[in-house]
């Protein structure tokens, strides 16, 4: 955070400080009752279940939204908390929601100041929306019992617009300040994303109403946010990612996009990132000897072995043919070597039943090996193309050295590929 430009740092600190002042000044406005504690517990439980069910979708969305506002459905639970809870408990819901997202979506990758800032903007937005509800109903939280008739509906709509609008403006300002060289239009994001927050506010109102009238129906209503997240957002980003149909890994185009975004983020945060290039040894012999159907089964088995061997926040893609790539955010040379060796060991343990057995060929393919090249940003290179080329050349070094091994690329700017004594 301290490496931010001075105007950006000043803006972030001011917003954080205003949020802290707001929390302190509203702490004693509404008494905390046993009922409000129960509601708070139910809302927190709903938030946890919701994000756990959709964390993989949210991880892709959040990384893909880098440089634009990230519209998320956590507002469902935050807005429900605004309508029902005293300000201190509403703040607890916000804090838990963003902390949970940082741990499970961001995987604790050095961006906590962004989560703190986002939480601060939401606290200020909730305070402003709460003031609108107080002015419209003449009462403090819980507001739901007093939102009746046309006046109640007007106050609710106005509070929702204020909640979204203030939060949106505060985030847009910091994005514009942090990216002076990028087109301002990009900072505003996709207009369709605005519907996500408005839908979240609407569902949050429904949850708050159910909790005050028939709280035992909450588990049934919780299907709505999870279905909304999976049913509306997953297809959108599956289409964007175009996952590889054969292995179910990320397709090359989307993996490259994620890798470039992650390297840009690593540069901004003075962090690190690693790239693995994995090549199955003698794969052509498997295709020629056992058939392409067997080769496809091998590819799927290797993909599963790689996916099960990496860390939770890593990105695994198929790069083409029998080559796979892994992006490891925030990794060091020692860590990437450890992950790479774990992958190599997992591949060596694979046993693949052959779908169509040819005369004289085994029913199960075993003894698979892989040559793995590793490169680390910024130790090996600071530019995406050179970093990936370094990992690719390290694969050829591994093959030239006898295969079934991991080679860590050294720092370089111009890369040459060693001669390989025999066919791959």
Residue 112 pLDDT: 83
Q: Nearest Cα to 230, choosing from 306, 222, 206?
A: 222
Name the pLDDT band for 10 (thresholds 50, 70, 90): very high
Pairing relation of β-strands 315-320 and 352-353? unpaired
Q: What is the pLDDT of residues 256-271, one digit of tens each?
A: 989 999 999 899 888 9
Q: Give the pLDDT band of residue 302 (cuts 50, 70, 90).
A: very high
User: What pLDDT is attached to residue 5?
Assistant: 86
CA angle (303, 306, 309) in 5-degree steps: 150
Residue 415: its pLDDT value, please?
Answer: 45
- Predicted pLDDT of residue 191: 66
Task: Return the CA Rg of the chain.
Answer: 26
In 356-401, alpha helices (H): 384-400
Neighbours of 207 (CB within 10 A): 26
Backbone φ and ψ for 237, nearest 5 degrees, come out as: -90, -20
Q: pLDDT grade, residue 3 (50/70/90)?
A: confident
> Is 50 exceeded by the pLDDT of residue 311?
yes
pLDDT tens-place string over residues 226-252 = 776 666 555 555 555 578 888 989 999
More confident residue, 277 or 211: 277
By the 8 A CB rule, do 370 and 424 touch?
A: no
What pTM was computed for the model? Answer: 0.65
Is the pLDDT confidence value at 199 over 60? Answer: yes
Task: For residues 23 and 13, give the distance between their C-alpha atoms in angstroms, rounded to a whole number.
Answer: 15
Using the predicted structure, report yes or no on whether residue 292 has a pLDDT greater than 90: no
CA distances from 271 to 4, 118, 173, 423 (A): 14, 21, 25, 38
Separation CA 222–CA 114 (nearest Å): 28
Distance CA 211, CA 147 (A): 15
Nearest CA to 70 among 18, 44, 105? 105
Among 66-80, 221-235, 295-309, 402-416, the range scoring the smallest mean pLDDT is 221-235
Query: What average pLDDT does this structure show over 373-389?
Result: 95
Q: Average pLDDT in the 296-311 region? A: 94
Do 96 and 47 contact (CB within 8 A), yes or no? yes
Mean local confidence (pLDDT), 156-182:
88
Residue whose pair of structure tokens reads 């499970």 in the numeric block: 104
Q: Which of 233, 232, 254, 234 is nearest to 242 (CA)?
A: 254
Q: In the prediction, which pLDDT does 386 show?
A: 95
Q: Name the DSSP class of 332.
A: -
* pLDDT for position 110: 56
Over residues 283-299, mean pLDDT: 90
pLDDT recorded at residue 282: 92
Q: What is d(CA 328, CA 339) in angstroms, rounded to the nearest whole number?
A: 9
Q: Are 244 and 322 in contact (CB under 8 A)?
A: no
Phi, psi of 7 (to 5 degrees): -60, -40
**For residue 48, which of 201, 234, 222 has the smallest C-alpha distance?**
222
Chain mean pLDDT for the chain = 86
Strands 370-377 and 273-280: antiparallel
pLDDT for the residue numbered 218: 78
Asked if residue 416 has pLDDT above 90, the reply is no
- Secondary structure (3-state) at 279: strand
For 345, phi and psi rounded to 5 degrees? Answer: -65, -40
Residue 187 is predicted with a pLDDT of 66
Using alpha carbons, list the distances in angstroms from residue 403 to 90, 317, 421.
57, 21, 12
pLDDT attached to residue 424:
45
Percent of all residues in the chain with a pLDDT value above 90, rounded to a whole number:
52
To the nearest 10 degrees (0 to 180), the angle between helices 191-213 and 149-178 is 140
How many Cβ atoms from other residues are within 10 Å of residue 332's Cβ? 13
Q: What is the mean pLDDT of residues 6-35?
A: 94
């Amino acid at each position: 955070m301290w490496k931010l430009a001075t105007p950006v740092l000043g803006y972030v600190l001011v917003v954080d400080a205003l949020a802290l002042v707001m929390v302190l000044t509203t702490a004693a406005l509404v008494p905390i009752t046993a009922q409000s504690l129960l509601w708070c517990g139910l809302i927190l439980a709903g938030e946890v279940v919701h994000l756990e069910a959709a964390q993989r979708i949210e991880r892709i969305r959040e990384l893909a939204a880098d440089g634009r506002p990230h519209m998320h459905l956590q507002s469902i639970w935050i807005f429900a908390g605004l309508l029902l809870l005293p300000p201190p408990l509403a703040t607890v819901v916000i804090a838990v929601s963003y902390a949970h997202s940082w741990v499970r979506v961001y995987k604790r990758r050095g961006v906590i100041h962004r989560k703190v800032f986002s939480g601060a903007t939401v606290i200020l937005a909730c305070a402003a929306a709460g003031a609108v509800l107080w002015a419209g109903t003449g009462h403090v939280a819980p507001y739901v019992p007093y939102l009746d008739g046309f006046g109640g509906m007007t106050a609710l709509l106005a509070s929702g617009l204020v909640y979204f609008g203030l939060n949106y403006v505060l985030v847009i300002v910091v994005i514009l300040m942090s990216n002076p060289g990028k087109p301002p239009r990009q900072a505003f994001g996709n207009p369709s994303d605005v519907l996500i927050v408005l839908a979240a506010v609407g569902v949050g109102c429904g949850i708050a109403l159910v909790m005050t009238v028939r709280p035992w129906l909450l588990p049934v209503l919780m299907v709505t946010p999870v279905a909304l997240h999976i049913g509306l957002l997953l297809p959108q980003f599956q289409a964007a990612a175009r996952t590889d149909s054969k292995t179910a890994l990320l397709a090359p185009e989307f993996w490259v996009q994620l890798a470039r975004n992650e390297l840009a983020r690593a540069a901004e945060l003075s962090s690190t990132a690693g790239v693995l290039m994995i090549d199955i040894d003698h794969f052509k012999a498997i295709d020629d000897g056992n058939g392409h159907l067997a080769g496809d089964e091998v590819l799927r088995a290797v993909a599963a072995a790689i996916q099960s061997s990496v860390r939770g926040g890593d990105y695994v893609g198929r790069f083409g043919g029998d080559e796979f790539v892994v992006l490891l955010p925030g990794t060091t040379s020692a860590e990437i070597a450890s992950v790479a060796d774990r992958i190599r060991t997992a591949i060596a343990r694979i046993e693949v039943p052959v779908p169509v057995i040819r005369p004289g060929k085994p029913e199960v393919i075993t003894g698979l090996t892989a040559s793995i090249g590793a490169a680390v940003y910024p130790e090996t290179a600071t530019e995406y193309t050179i970093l990936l080329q370094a990992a690719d050349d390290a694969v050829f070094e591994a093959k030239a050295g006898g295969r079934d091994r991991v080679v860590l690329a050294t720092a370089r700017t111009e890369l040459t590929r060693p001669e390989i004594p025999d066919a791959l």
